[in-house]
Amino acid sequence: MSKPAVQTQVKARPGGWLPKDRAPIRSWIRRLRKRALQLNDTLVAPIQDFSDLVAMDAGLQSLADDMFTQALEYEPVDPLGQSTVQDFADFLQLLNAIMQTAPEAYQQVTAGASLQPSGLIGFPINALLDYPMGTDAGYAFFSNALVNQQFKKILQYWSQFLTSSGSCYVLSQPPSPLDPQTEIVPWLGSLAQEEMVQVAQSALGDGPNPTPATFAEIFNCDPSLPNYGFQSWDDFFTRLFQDGVRPVSAPGDDTVIVNACESAPLQVVPNVQQDDEFWLKGQPYSLSNMLDFCDEAAQFYGGTVYQAFLSALSFHRWNSPISGTITKAWVVSGSYYLENYYTGFADPAGPDTSAPNESQAFLTAVATRAIILIKADNPQIGLLAFIAVGMAEVSSSQITVSVGQHVNKGDQLGMFHFGGSTHCLVFQPGVNLNFNFYGQTPGIDAQYNMRVNTAIATVD
C-alpha cells in the first residue's frame, strides 16, 4: 500500500463521540499506555482468547500486523515524537487497560482561549482503531466473523465494569490535566453539565421548547445524593428525561410520526431496493441485509428509509415513533469495527478521522443492530421497522418491548448502552410522507438534534 497524501482538513465528528482535534486522543493514548504498563502484561480472559485466536491463524495474524503498519504510514508519531498504537500486541495491552476505565469528559484550557469542550473519548477502543480500521488489512480483519464474535465477548466483559459502582469515578473525579491544552473534568461538574444542558436546549422540534435551564431539571436525578443517585457510568449514560421535558407531539393523531431518538437527521431515501451493493462508495441501502433477511423484509421493498444519528451528550433511549403493536423484535449479531472501504484509505481525500461515522448507511447492513417491527394503528402507515444500529463500543442494544405488546407513540422501545449510534425508520412503499426538519438540512454535518417525541413527519 502506498503512503497516502497528508490530510489537511479534519473531517466532521458528528455526535461528538471523539474530539475533533486528535491531540487529546494522542495524550489519552500516552496516559493509557502508562496504565497498561502497570498491569504487568496480564490480559483479561477474553482478550487473551482473542490474542490466541489471532496467533493460531496465520492469515488473521498477518492482517492484524499489517493494519497497524499501514496506519503508521499515515500517522507515525504524536506531537511529542512518540508512536501512536505501534502494533497488534501494543493494541491488546491498551485494550486491556480500557477494561477498568470509563469514558471521560474533556475541556480545552489553552492559555488565552475561551474554555471550550474538546469532546470525550466516548469510543475509547474506536480511538485506538480510527486509522487501522481504514486500511485494506483492517477492512479484511474486521470483516471476519470470528474476530467479531471475540470482540462481542470483550465488550460484554467491559460492560461488567461500566455497570458497576467502580465506573462512577468519572462522574465526580476532581479536574486534572490530560495535557497542557486539555483538562479532564467530572461529568457532574459545572462545565460538563453546562454542555449537556446546551445540547438539550438547542434541540429542534414542534412548538415551544420545554427544556429547563439546569441538568437536574432536565434529567431524572437527585443532586442531594452521591453522584446524583447514578449507580454506574451506564446508569448515567442511559439517564431519563424528567416528565414533561420531551412531550409527545399530537398524541391522539396517528397521522403524525415522531422522532424515535434524540438525534440529528442524516438522510431520507425513497424507493430503497431489496438488494444493493451497499459496500460501494455511494453506500445505498440494501433492505434484505438491513432487515436480516426476515420474512417481512419483502413488505418494505421500494419503501423509504429515514436515518439519524445520536449525540454523545444527549439521551440514548428509543421511543416508538407511532402507536401500534409489536409484531417482531430481535438483535442481529454483526460487526463492531468495520467501516465502508471507501471511507478509509481508499478515499483520495484521506480516511475518515472519526471512523466509522461516515459509514452510517453502510453499517445498517453489517453492524450489530436491534430490529423492531411495529404494526401501526393507522392503516396508512401499515408495518414500520425501527432499526437501532450499533457502532463500535455499543455492545448492548437492549430491547424493552415484547411481541404482541401495544405501544403508544412516545413509549419506550429500548436503549443503547455504553455508547451512541445511529437509527433508521423503514416505511413500506406507498406511504406518503411529508418530513419536517425545522430548517435543518439532513447530512453528516447537521448540527442540532431534533427532540425525541417531536413530530418529524406526517402521513397524507
For the record, the C-alpha cell of 275 comes out as 438488494
Rounded to an integer, what distance in angstroms lies between the CA atom of residue 46 and that of residue 129?
18
Of 97 and 17, the structure prediction assigns the larger pLDDT to 97
Residue 400: predicted pLDDT:
98
User: 74: phi > 0 → left, psi -120 to 50 → alpha, else beta; which?
Assistant: alpha
8: pLDDT confidence band, cut at 50, 70 and 90? very low
Least confident of 85-89, 154-158, 275-279, 335-339: 275-279
Q: What mean pLDDT do residues 56-78 have?
A: 88
Q: What is the mean pLDDT of the chain?
A: 86
Does the pLDDT at position 57 exceed 50? yes
3-class state of residue 266 by DSSP: strand
Residue 277: predicted pLDDT:
61
Does the pLDDT at position 4 exceed 50? no
* Edge-to-edge strand ranges of the sheet holding 433-435: 256-258, 455-459, 433-435
**Burial status of residue 190 (CB atoms within 10 A of its CB: 0-12, 13-18, 19 or more):** exposed
Residue 236: predicted pLDDT:
95
Residue 113: predicted pLDDT:
47
Q: What mean pLDDT do residues 99-103 have?
A: 90
Does the pLDDT at position 422 exceed 50? yes
* Edge-to-edge strand ranges of the sheet holding 412-417: 317-319, 412-417, 396-399
Least confident of 27-31, 77-81, 356-360: 77-81
- What's the half-sphere exposure (Cβ side, CA atoms, 13 Å) at 248? 18
Query: For 182-238, how does the pLDDT look when each residue is reduced to its tens digit (9 = 90+)?
Result: 788 899 999 889 989 999 999 999 998 999 999 999 999 999 999 999 999 999 999
Residue 32: predicted pLDDT:
84
Does the pLDDT at position 80 exceed 50? no
Residue 6: predicted pLDDT:
37
Rounded to an integer, what distance in angstroms lies between the CA atom of residue 432 and that of residue 116?
43
**From-to residues of CATH 2.70.70.10 in the chain:** 249-333+368-459
Does the pLDDT at position 120 exceed 60? no
Placement of cell 482561549 in the chain: 113
Rounded to an integer, what distance in angstroms lies between the CA atom of residue 70 and that of residue 406?
51
Rounded to an integer, what distance in angstroms lies between the CA atom of residue 392 and that of residue 126?
6
Residue 5: predicted pLDDT:
40
Q: What mean pLDDT do residues 308-337 have?
A: 93
Placement of cell 443517585 in the chain: 229
Among 131, 170, 142, CA closest to 418:
170
Does the pLDDT at position 1 exceed 50? no
Query: For 168-191, how does the pLDDT look when each residue is reduced to its tens digit (9 = 90+)?
Result: 999 999 988 887 777 888 999 998
Q: Which CATH superfamily, name and number, covers 249-333+368-459?
A: Glucose Permease (Domain IIA) (2.70.70.10)
Q: Which residues pair with 107 in a beta bridge?
A: 117, 183
Residue 43: predicted pLDDT:
94
30: pLDDT confidence band, cut at 50, 70 and 90? confident
Top mean-pLDDT range of 5-14, 54-63, 312-321:
54-63
Q: What mean pLDDT do residues 25-33 have?
A: 78
CA distances from 447 to 11, 218, 442 (A): 14, 20, 9
Report yes or no: 96 and 47 within 8 Å, Cβ to Cβ. yes
3-class state of residue 183 by DSSP: strand
Does the pLDDT at position 267 exceed 60? yes
Residue 394: predicted pLDDT:
56
Does the pLDDT at position 154 exceed 80? yes
Does the pLDDT at position 21 exceed 90? no
What is the DSSP secondary structure assignment for residue 399, as one 8-state letter?
E
Rounded to an integer, what distance in angstroms lies between the CA atom of residue 141 and that of residue 154?
16
Report yes or no: 58 and 65 within 8 Å, Cβ to Cβ. no
Rounded to an integer, what distance in angstroms lies between the CA atom of residue 88 and that of residue 119?
27
Residue 167: predicted pLDDT:
95
Among 213, 174, 184, CA closest to 197:
213
Residue 13: predicted pLDDT:
47
Does the pLDDT at position 339 exceed 90? no
Least confident of 56-60, 62-66, 145-149, 283-287: 283-287
Does the pLDDT at position 376 exceed 70? yes
